[in-house]
Amino acid sequence: MTSGVFPSGSAVEITVDGRVVAACDGELLAAVFLRLEDIHTRTSFPSAQPRAPYCMMGVCFECDVHVENIGTIRSCQQTVHAGMKVERQDYPKRLK
C-alpha cells in the first residue's frame, strides 16, 4: 500500500513541535519536513546553526529529530504514521 518514499499512502496528521502537519501514512518523516515552510530539523550545537535533511540516506545525521516513544532518530530513516508526535532538536538533550 505504501512505498515508503512516494506519498501515496492515506492522508494522516502528525504534530511537529505541537503544530498539526498533513502527511501521508508511510512516507519518510524527512520528506514531511522538506515540505514545511521551515524545513529545519535541529539546531547544531554549539554553532547554533539550523540544520535540515541533507543526505537522505542515514549518513549525515543532520535530520535528527525527537519522536515520542522512540527517542532521537534520523528522520530520513523513519516512516510516518497517524498521530506521530515529533519535536525538532533545538536544544541539546540532557544527560540526566
Binding footprint of another protein on the chain (CB under 8 A) = 44-46, 61, 64, 71-72, 91-96
52, amino acid identity: A
- How would you class 50 by CB atoms within 10 Å of its CB: exposed for 0-12, middle for 13-18, buried for 19 or more? middle
In the complex, the smallest distance separating the C-beta of residue 45 from another protein, rounded to whole angstroms, is: 5
Whichever of 6 and 61 has its CB closer to another protein, that residue is 61
In the complex, the smallest distance separating the C-beta of residue 23 from another protein, rounded to whole angstroms, is: 23
| Contact present, 52 and 74 (Cβ < 8 Å) | no
Whichever of 1 and 95 has its CB closer to another protein, that residue is 95
| Contact present, 21 and 34 (Cβ < 8 Å) | no
In the complex, the smallest distance separating the C-beta of residue 6 from another protein, rounded to whole angstroms, is: 28
